[in-house]
Amino acid sequence: MKRIELLSLALLMTATIAGQNRNAPVNYDESQVPVFEIPDALTCQDGQRITTAKQWEKKRRPELLRMFSELEYGVTQQNTGIKVRYELKSVNPNAMGGLATQKQVLFKFTGKNGLTHQALLLLYIPNAPKGRVPVIVSYNFHGNQTTTFEEDVIYSPSKELMKSMGSDAWERGEQATRWSYVLALSRGYAVATMNYHDIYPDSPALRKFGISPLLPGYNEDSREKDEWGSIGIWAWGYSRIADYLEKEKRIDKDCMVVLGHSRLGKTSLWAGVQDKRFKVVISNDSGCGGAALAKRVFGENVARITASFPHWFCPAFNAYSENEAALPFDQHELLALVAPRHVYVASAEDDQWADPRGEYLSAYYAGQVYQLYGMQGLASMEQPAIHQPQHFDVGYHIRAGKHDVTEYDWTCYLDFCDKVFRPGK
Protein backbone atom coordinates (compact mmCIF):
# COMPACT_ATOMS: atom_id res chain seq x y z
CA MET A 1 0.00 0.00 0.00
CA LYS A 2 1.25 3.46 -0.80
CA ARG A 3 2.24 5.69 2.09
CA ILE A 4 -0.57 8.12 1.38
CA GLU A 5 -3.15 5.32 1.37
CA LEU A 6 -1.79 4.01 4.65
CA LEU A 7 -2.04 7.48 6.07
CA SER A 8 -5.64 7.93 5.02
CA LEU A 9 -6.51 4.49 6.35
CA ALA A 10 -4.95 5.43 9.67
CA LEU A 11 -6.91 8.68 9.69
CA LEU A 12 -10.11 6.83 8.89
CA MET A 13 -9.51 4.40 11.74
CA THR A 14 -8.84 7.22 14.18
CA ALA A 15 -12.10 8.83 13.15
CA THR A 16 -13.99 5.60 13.64
CA ILE A 17 -12.38 4.84 16.99
CA ALA A 18 -12.96 8.36 18.23
CA GLY A 19 -16.48 7.95 16.92
CA GLN A 20 -16.81 11.53 15.84
CA ASN A 21 -16.44 12.44 12.23
CA ARG A 22 -17.21 16.03 11.45
CA ASN A 23 -16.90 15.28 7.75
CA ALA A 24 -19.11 12.20 7.62
CA PRO A 25 -21.37 12.41 4.55
CA VAL A 26 -24.95 13.55 5.07
CA ASN A 27 -27.69 11.90 3.05
CA TYR A 28 -30.80 13.76 1.87
CA ASP A 29 -31.83 11.22 -0.74
CA GLU A 30 -34.63 8.83 0.21
CA SER A 31 -33.34 6.23 -2.27
CA GLN A 32 -30.03 6.13 -0.36
CA VAL A 33 -31.58 5.28 3.00
CA PRO A 34 -30.03 1.97 4.02
CA VAL A 35 -32.19 -1.13 4.16
CA PHE A 36 -32.66 -1.98 7.82
CA GLU A 37 -35.01 -3.80 10.08
CA ILE A 38 -36.78 -1.65 12.60
CA PRO A 39 -35.83 -2.98 16.06
CA ASP A 40 -38.88 -4.63 17.58
CA ALA A 41 -39.93 -2.76 20.70
CA LEU A 42 -41.83 -5.82 21.85
CA THR A 43 -39.03 -8.38 21.66
CA CYS A 44 -36.68 -8.57 24.63
CA GLN A 45 -32.95 -9.07 24.23
CA ASP A 46 -33.37 -12.72 25.29
CA GLY A 47 -35.97 -13.19 22.54
CA GLN A 48 -39.04 -13.13 24.79
CA ARG A 49 -42.02 -11.57 23.05
CA ILE A 50 -43.97 -9.01 25.06
CA THR A 51 -47.75 -9.27 24.79
CA THR A 52 -49.06 -7.43 27.84
CA ALA A 53 -48.55 -4.01 29.42
CA LYS A 54 -47.52 -5.77 32.60
CA GLN A 55 -44.70 -7.66 30.89
CA TRP A 56 -43.65 -4.46 29.15
CA GLU A 57 -43.38 -2.59 32.43
CA LYS A 58 -41.70 -5.39 34.29
CA LYS A 59 -39.13 -6.46 31.73
CA ARG A 60 -38.87 -4.68 28.42
CA ARG A 61 -39.32 -1.08 29.54
CA PRO A 62 -36.50 -1.29 32.15
CA GLU A 63 -34.31 -3.10 29.63
CA LEU A 64 -34.74 -0.37 27.00
CA LEU A 65 -34.37 2.40 29.54
CA ARG A 66 -31.08 0.86 30.60
CA MET A 67 -29.87 0.67 27.00
CA PHE A 68 -30.73 4.30 26.27
CA SER A 69 -28.97 5.25 29.51
CA GLU A 70 -25.82 3.24 29.02
CA LEU A 71 -25.39 3.72 25.29
CA GLU A 72 -26.85 7.10 24.36
CA TYR A 73 -27.70 9.72 26.97
CA GLY A 74 -25.72 8.36 29.93
CA VAL A 75 -26.95 7.12 33.26
CA THR A 76 -28.96 9.61 35.30
CA GLN A 77 -27.33 10.01 38.69
CA GLN A 78 -29.92 9.09 41.29
CA ASN A 79 -28.36 10.34 44.49
CA THR A 80 -26.90 13.66 43.56
CA GLY A 81 -27.21 14.97 47.10
CA ILE A 82 -27.96 18.38 45.58
CA LYS A 83 -30.26 20.51 47.71
CA VAL A 84 -32.46 23.11 46.05
CA ARG A 85 -33.84 26.23 47.71
CA TYR A 86 -36.30 28.48 45.91
CA GLU A 87 -36.14 32.23 46.30
CA LEU A 88 -39.15 34.14 45.02
CA LYS A 89 -37.66 37.18 43.29
CA SER A 90 -40.87 38.83 42.14
CA VAL A 91 -44.60 38.46 41.67
CA ASN A 92 -46.59 40.52 39.20
CA PRO A 93 -50.31 39.78 39.44
CA ASN A 94 -50.98 41.91 36.39
CA ALA A 95 -48.64 40.54 33.77
CA MET A 96 -49.44 40.22 30.06
CA GLY A 97 -52.01 43.00 30.23
CA GLY A 98 -53.76 41.39 33.20
CA LEU A 99 -54.00 37.97 31.63
CA ALA A 100 -51.53 36.36 34.02
CA THR A 101 -49.65 36.35 37.26
CA GLN A 102 -45.95 36.30 36.63
CA LYS A 103 -43.48 34.83 39.11
CA GLN A 104 -39.72 34.71 38.94
CA VAL A 105 -38.06 32.15 41.13
CA LEU A 106 -34.34 31.69 41.69
CA PHE A 107 -33.31 28.06 42.13
CA LYS A 108 -30.33 27.87 44.50
CA PHE A 109 -28.51 24.57 44.25
CA THR A 110 -26.01 23.36 46.85
CA GLY A 111 -23.94 20.23 46.28
CA LYS A 112 -22.74 17.88 48.99
CA ASN A 113 -19.28 19.33 48.34
CA GLY A 114 -20.58 22.77 49.34
CA LEU A 115 -20.45 24.21 45.82
CA THR A 116 -23.43 26.32 44.79
CA HIS A 117 -25.14 27.26 41.54
CA GLN A 118 -28.19 29.26 40.48
CA ALA A 119 -30.87 29.12 37.78
CA LEU A 120 -33.85 31.38 37.18
CA LEU A 121 -37.40 30.25 36.48
CA LEU A 122 -40.01 32.44 34.81
CA LEU A 123 -43.59 31.34 35.38
CA TYR A 124 -46.83 32.73 33.96
CA ILE A 125 -50.09 31.51 35.48
CA PRO A 126 -53.39 32.53 33.86
CA ASN A 127 -55.58 34.70 36.10
CA ALA A 128 -58.63 32.98 34.63
CA PRO A 129 -59.83 30.37 35.20
CA LYS A 130 -59.42 30.36 38.97
CA GLY A 131 -58.08 27.20 40.53
CA ARG A 132 -55.45 24.77 39.37
CA VAL A 133 -54.31 24.79 35.76
CA PRO A 134 -52.09 22.60 33.55
CA VAL A 135 -48.57 23.82 32.94
CA ILE A 136 -46.21 23.66 29.97
CA VAL A 137 -42.58 23.43 31.05
CA SER A 138 -40.06 24.42 28.40
CA TYR A 139 -36.46 25.62 28.40
CA ASN A 140 -35.47 28.62 26.34
CA PHE A 141 -32.26 29.07 24.34
CA HIS A 142 -31.20 32.64 25.12
CA GLY A 143 -32.61 33.64 28.48
CA ASN A 144 -36.03 34.25 29.98
CA GLN A 145 -35.86 37.88 28.86
CA THR A 146 -35.81 36.84 25.20
CA THR A 147 -39.12 35.00 25.44
CA THR A 148 -41.16 38.20 25.94
CA PHE A 149 -40.88 41.98 25.67
CA GLU A 150 -42.20 42.40 29.23
CA GLU A 151 -39.83 44.85 30.89
CA ASP A 152 -39.84 43.23 34.32
CA VAL A 153 -38.49 39.87 33.17
CA ILE A 154 -35.06 39.47 34.74
CA TYR A 155 -32.10 38.54 32.51
CA SER A 156 -31.15 34.89 32.96
CA PRO A 157 -27.94 34.45 34.95
CA SER A 158 -26.12 32.70 32.07
CA LYS A 159 -26.28 35.71 29.80
CA GLU A 160 -22.85 37.16 30.63
CA LEU A 161 -21.03 33.84 30.40
CA MET A 162 -22.66 32.91 27.10
CA LYS A 163 -22.18 36.37 25.59
CA SER A 164 -18.52 36.24 26.54
CA MET A 165 -18.35 33.03 24.49
CA GLY A 166 -19.75 34.83 21.45
CA SER A 167 -23.36 33.73 21.77
CA ASP A 168 -25.74 36.41 20.47
CA ALA A 169 -29.48 37.18 20.45
CA TRP A 170 -29.80 37.68 24.21
CA GLU A 171 -31.80 40.90 24.04
CA ARG A 172 -35.29 41.32 25.41
CA GLY A 173 -37.94 39.77 23.21
CA GLU A 174 -35.50 38.38 20.64
CA GLN A 175 -37.11 34.95 20.69
CA ALA A 176 -40.63 36.09 21.52
CA THR A 177 -42.07 34.64 18.31
CA ARG A 178 -41.31 31.19 19.71
CA TRP A 179 -43.31 31.80 22.89
CA SER A 180 -47.08 31.90 22.39
CA TYR A 181 -47.72 32.97 25.97
CA VAL A 182 -50.92 34.88 25.24
CA LEU A 183 -52.38 31.94 23.35
CA ALA A 184 -51.47 29.41 26.06
CA LEU A 185 -52.61 31.66 28.90
CA SER A 186 -55.91 32.51 27.26
CA ARG A 187 -56.52 28.80 26.80
CA GLY A 188 -55.97 28.26 30.52
CA TYR A 189 -52.41 26.94 30.53
CA ALA A 190 -49.54 28.13 32.69
CA VAL A 191 -46.08 28.28 31.10
CA ALA A 192 -42.78 27.84 32.94
CA THR A 193 -39.44 28.53 31.32
CA MET A 194 -35.78 28.60 32.26
CA ASN A 195 -32.64 29.13 30.24
CA TYR A 196 -31.04 25.75 29.58
CA HIS A 197 -27.55 27.22 29.93
CA ASP A 198 -28.41 27.91 33.57
CA ILE A 199 -28.29 24.14 34.13
CA TYR A 200 -25.43 23.22 31.80
CA PRO A 201 -23.91 25.95 29.59
CA ASP A 202 -24.02 24.34 26.18
CA SER A 203 -20.38 23.78 25.31
CA PRO A 204 -17.93 21.05 26.33
CA ALA A 205 -15.63 23.75 27.64
CA LEU A 206 -18.26 25.19 29.95
CA ARG A 207 -19.24 22.10 31.91
CA LYS A 208 -17.57 23.51 35.00
CA PHE A 209 -19.95 26.48 35.05
CA GLY A 210 -23.18 24.51 35.40
CA ILE A 211 -24.61 21.96 37.80
CA SER A 212 -21.92 19.36 36.96
CA PRO A 213 -19.26 20.37 39.55
CA LEU A 214 -21.88 19.95 42.30
CA LEU A 215 -22.32 16.29 41.39
CA PRO A 216 -20.57 13.52 43.33
CA GLY A 217 -17.70 12.01 41.30
CA TYR A 218 -17.39 15.00 38.97
CA ASN A 219 -14.14 14.93 37.04
CA GLU A 220 -13.38 18.06 35.10
CA ASP A 221 -11.14 16.33 32.57
CA SER A 222 -12.96 13.16 31.63
CA ARG A 223 -16.23 11.26 31.64
CA GLU A 224 -16.96 7.58 32.14
CA LYS A 225 -18.27 5.77 29.08
CA ASP A 226 -21.83 5.78 30.39
CA GLU A 227 -21.63 9.09 32.23
CA TRP A 228 -24.50 11.40 31.44
CA GLY A 229 -23.99 14.25 29.05
CA SER A 230 -25.66 17.64 28.93
CA ILE A 231 -28.96 16.22 27.61
CA GLY A 232 -29.12 14.04 30.71
CA ILE A 233 -28.33 16.95 33.00
CA TRP A 234 -30.80 19.27 31.27
CA ALA A 235 -33.41 16.53 31.70
CA TRP A 236 -32.52 16.40 35.40
CA GLY A 237 -33.12 20.15 35.48
CA TYR A 238 -36.58 19.66 33.99
CA SER A 239 -37.36 17.38 36.91
CA ARG A 240 -36.21 20.03 39.36
CA ILE A 241 -38.64 22.47 37.72
CA ALA A 242 -41.37 19.85 38.16
CA ASP A 243 -40.41 19.60 41.87
CA TYR A 244 -41.03 23.30 42.22
CA LEU A 245 -44.26 23.34 40.23
CA GLU A 246 -45.70 20.54 42.35
CA LYS A 247 -45.57 22.94 45.28
CA GLU A 248 -47.17 25.82 43.42
CA LYS A 249 -50.79 26.25 44.55
CA ARG A 250 -52.26 27.20 41.19
CA ILE A 251 -50.60 24.37 39.26
CA ASP A 252 -52.37 21.10 38.63
CA LYS A 253 -49.53 18.67 39.24
CA ASP A 254 -51.36 15.93 37.38
CA CYS A 255 -51.28 18.01 34.21
CA MET A 256 -47.62 18.81 33.59
CA VAL A 257 -46.34 18.98 30.02
CA VAL A 258 -42.71 19.06 28.92
CA LEU A 259 -42.03 20.73 25.58
CA GLY A 260 -38.73 21.34 23.84
CA HIS A 261 -37.40 22.46 20.50
CA SER A 262 -34.51 20.84 18.66
CA ARG A 263 -31.72 19.90 21.14
CA LEU A 264 -34.24 20.74 23.81
CA GLY A 265 -36.74 18.45 22.06
CA LYS A 266 -34.24 15.63 22.50
CA THR A 267 -34.06 16.74 26.11
CA SER A 268 -37.82 16.90 26.63
CA LEU A 269 -38.10 13.32 25.36
CA TRP A 270 -35.40 12.05 27.68
CA ALA A 271 -36.88 13.99 30.61
CA GLY A 272 -40.40 12.82 29.82
CA VAL A 273 -39.33 9.20 29.52
CA GLN A 274 -37.77 9.21 32.96
CA ASP A 275 -40.03 11.52 34.94
CA LYS A 276 -43.57 10.21 34.99
CA ARG A 277 -44.92 13.46 36.38
CA PHE A 278 -44.84 14.74 32.79
CA LYS A 279 -48.12 13.56 31.34
CA VAL A 280 -47.59 14.96 27.85
CA VAL A 281 -44.12 14.91 26.30
CA ILE A 282 -43.58 17.10 23.25
CA SER A 283 -40.70 17.02 20.80
CA ASN A 284 -40.56 19.94 18.38
CA ASP A 285 -38.15 19.31 15.48
CA SER A 286 -35.84 17.19 17.65
CA GLY A 287 -34.22 15.17 14.84
CA CYS A 288 -31.12 13.04 15.40
CA GLY A 289 -30.80 11.83 18.99
CA GLY A 290 -34.43 12.91 19.47
CA ALA A 291 -37.48 11.59 17.66
CA ALA A 292 -35.87 10.69 14.32
CA LEU A 293 -34.93 7.09 13.55
CA ALA A 294 -31.14 6.87 13.64
CA LYS A 295 -30.94 3.85 11.34
CA ARG A 296 -32.32 5.82 8.39
CA VAL A 297 -29.12 7.87 8.48
CA PHE A 298 -30.98 10.72 6.79
CA GLY A 299 -29.99 14.31 7.55
CA GLU A 300 -27.94 14.70 10.72
CA ASN A 301 -26.31 11.43 11.74
CA VAL A 302 -24.51 10.04 14.77
CA ALA A 303 -21.05 10.88 13.40
CA ARG A 304 -21.96 14.51 12.81
CA ILE A 305 -23.82 15.06 16.05
CA THR A 306 -21.19 13.47 18.27
CA ALA A 307 -18.48 15.46 16.49
CA SER A 308 -20.24 18.80 16.82
CA PHE A 309 -21.68 18.22 20.28
CA PRO A 310 -19.47 15.69 22.09
CA HIS A 311 -20.92 16.75 25.45
CA TRP A 312 -24.60 16.05 24.64
CA PHE A 313 -24.48 12.25 24.90
CA CYS A 314 -22.44 9.75 26.89
CA PRO A 315 -19.06 8.80 25.40
CA ALA A 316 -20.35 5.27 24.62
CA PHE A 317 -22.65 6.74 21.94
CA ASN A 318 -19.59 7.55 19.80
CA ALA A 319 -19.32 3.84 18.95
CA TYR A 320 -22.33 4.26 16.63
CA SER A 321 -20.73 6.98 14.59
CA GLU A 322 -20.97 5.84 10.93
CA ASN A 323 -22.28 2.65 12.46
CA GLU A 324 -25.99 3.23 13.17
CA ALA A 325 -26.71 -0.31 11.97
CA ALA A 326 -25.07 -1.61 15.16
CA LEU A 327 -27.43 0.28 17.48
CA PRO A 328 -29.40 -2.32 19.49
CA PHE A 329 -32.41 0.04 19.56
CA ASP A 330 -33.84 2.99 17.69
CA GLN A 331 -35.57 6.19 18.70
CA HIS A 332 -39.14 4.89 18.29
CA GLU A 333 -38.39 2.81 21.37
CA LEU A 334 -37.51 5.97 23.25
CA LEU A 335 -40.90 7.46 22.34
CA ALA A 336 -42.55 4.19 23.39
CA LEU A 337 -41.06 4.54 26.87
CA VAL A 338 -43.45 7.45 27.44
CA ALA A 339 -46.50 5.15 27.22
CA PRO A 340 -49.11 5.11 28.64
CA ARG A 341 -48.57 8.83 29.04
CA HIS A 342 -48.78 10.86 25.84
CA VAL A 343 -46.07 11.67 23.37
CA TYR A 344 -46.22 14.24 20.54
CA VAL A 345 -43.75 14.64 17.70
CA ALA A 346 -43.71 17.64 15.37
CA SER A 347 -41.68 18.25 12.24
CA ALA A 348 -41.12 21.14 9.83
CA GLU A 349 -41.14 20.60 6.09
CA ASP A 350 -37.90 22.47 5.39
CA ASP A 351 -36.07 20.94 8.32
CA GLN A 352 -34.54 18.04 6.39
CA TRP A 353 -31.53 18.03 8.74
CA ALA A 354 -33.93 16.64 11.38
CA ASP A 355 -35.42 14.05 8.97
CA PRO A 356 -39.18 14.72 9.19
CA ARG A 357 -40.00 11.33 7.69
CA GLY A 358 -37.80 9.57 10.24
CA GLU A 359 -39.52 11.56 13.00
CA TYR A 360 -42.92 10.47 11.73
CA LEU A 361 -42.02 6.79 11.36
CA SER A 362 -40.57 6.77 14.83
CA ALA A 363 -43.82 8.14 16.29
CA TYR A 364 -45.73 5.62 14.20
CA TYR A 365 -43.74 2.60 15.42
CA ALA A 366 -44.05 3.71 19.05
CA GLY A 367 -47.77 2.97 18.62
CA GLN A 368 -47.12 -0.77 19.12
CA VAL A 369 -46.51 -0.16 22.80
CA TYR A 370 -49.54 2.12 23.17
CA GLN A 371 -51.64 -0.74 21.83
CA LEU A 372 -50.57 -2.88 24.79
CA TYR A 373 -52.44 -0.35 26.93
CA GLY A 374 -55.49 -0.36 24.68
CA MET A 375 -54.45 3.04 23.41
CA GLN A 376 -54.22 4.20 19.83
CA GLY A 377 -51.03 5.11 18.04
CA LEU A 378 -50.82 6.93 14.70
CA ALA A 379 -53.18 5.33 12.23
CA SER A 380 -51.06 5.01 9.13
CA MET A 381 -47.47 4.46 8.06
CA GLU A 382 -48.04 7.22 5.52
CA GLN A 383 -46.81 10.55 6.78
CA PRO A 384 -49.71 13.03 6.82
CA ALA A 385 -49.72 16.08 4.57
CA ILE A 386 -48.63 19.49 5.80
CA HIS A 387 -50.98 21.00 8.41
CA GLN A 388 -52.97 17.81 8.99
CA PRO A 389 -52.33 17.17 12.70
CA GLN A 390 -52.90 13.60 13.80
CA HIS A 391 -54.13 13.49 17.38
CA PHE A 392 -54.48 9.93 18.62
CA ASP A 393 -52.93 8.86 21.91
CA VAL A 394 -49.70 9.66 20.07
CA GLY A 395 -49.70 13.03 18.32
CA TYR A 396 -47.93 14.24 15.20
CA HIS A 397 -47.95 17.14 12.79
CA ILE A 398 -45.75 18.55 10.10
CA ARG A 399 -46.02 22.20 9.18
CA ALA A 400 -44.65 24.29 6.37
CA GLY A 401 -41.49 26.25 7.00
CA LYS A 402 -38.18 25.96 8.71
CA HIS A 403 -36.65 24.61 11.92
CA ASP A 404 -38.47 26.74 14.50
CA VAL A 405 -41.33 26.86 16.99
CA THR A 406 -44.35 28.78 15.74
CA GLU A 407 -47.81 29.75 16.92
CA TYR A 408 -49.12 26.97 14.69
CA ASP A 409 -47.07 24.42 16.65
CA TRP A 410 -48.36 25.80 19.96
CA THR A 411 -51.94 25.66 18.70
CA CYS A 412 -51.55 21.98 17.83
CA TYR A 413 -49.94 21.21 21.19
CA LEU A 414 -52.71 22.98 23.10
CA ASP A 415 -55.38 21.14 21.10
CA PHE A 416 -53.69 17.84 21.92
CA CYS A 417 -53.28 18.70 25.61
CA ASP A 418 -56.95 19.69 25.79
CA LYS A 419 -57.83 16.26 24.45
CA VAL A 420 -55.70 14.63 27.12
CA PHE A 421 -56.58 16.82 30.10
CA ARG A 422 -60.12 17.92 29.27
CA PRO A 423 -61.62 15.07 27.29
CA GLY A 424 -65.08 15.76 25.94
CA LYS A 425 -64.84 19.52 26.56
The phi and psi torsions of 156 (rounded to 5 degrees) equal -60, 145
3-state secondary structure of 383: coil
Pick the closest to residue 302 from 328, 327, 267 (CA basis).
327
Q: Are 354 and 347 in contact (CB under 8 A)?
A: yes
CA distance 309 to 326: 21
CA distances from 252 to 40, 126, 189, 292, 376 (A): 36, 12, 10, 31, 25
Q: Which of residues 279-298 bind ligand GTR (CB under 6 A)?
A: 287-288
Selected binder of ligand GTR within 150, 227, 275, 300 (CB under 6 A): 300
Q: Nearest-CB residue to ligand GTR?
A: 262
The phi and psi torsions of 245 (rounded to 5 degrees) equal -65, -30
* Binding span for ligand GTR by CB under 6 A among 25-33, 300-308, 360-368, 415-423: 300-308
Would you count residue 263 as binding ligand GTR (CB under 6 A)? yes
Indicate the pairing of strand 251-261 with strand 278-284: parallel
Q: Which of 262, 283, 321, 362 is catalytic?
A: 262
Taking the complex as a whole, the smallest distance from the CB of residue 338 to ligand GTR amounts, in Å, to: 20
CA distance 112 to 246: 24
Would you count residue 305 as binding ligand GTR (CB under 6 A)? yes
- Minimum CB distance to ligand GTR smaller for 19 or for 287: 287
Q: Are 107 and 119 in contact (CB under 8 A)?
A: yes
Taking the complex as a whole, the smallest distance from the CB of residue 207 to ligand GTR amounts, in Å, to: 18
Beta bridge partners of 395: 344, 391
- Minimum CB distance to ligand GTR smaller for 162 or for 305: 305
- Minimum CB distance to ligand GTR smaller for 288 or for 303: 288
Q: Which of 186, 203, 239, 403 is catalytic?
A: 403
Would you count residue 347 as binding ligand GTR (CB under 6 A)? no
User: In the annotation, is 222 catalytic?
Assistant: no
Q: How many residues bind ligand GTR (CB under 6 A)?
A: 7
CA distance 124 to 251: 11
User: In the annotation, is 261 catalytic?
Assistant: no
CA distance 362 to 331: 6
Q: Are 136 and 192 in contact (CB under 8 A)?
A: yes
- Minimum CB distance to ligand GTR smaller for 72 or for 300: 300
- Minimum CB distance to ligand GTR smaller for 109 or for 139: 139
Taking the complex as a whole, the smallest distance from the CB of residue 287 to ligand GTR amounts, in Å, to: 5
List the catalytic residues.
262, 403
Binding interface with ligand GTR (CB under 6 A): 262-263, 287-288, 300, 305, 308
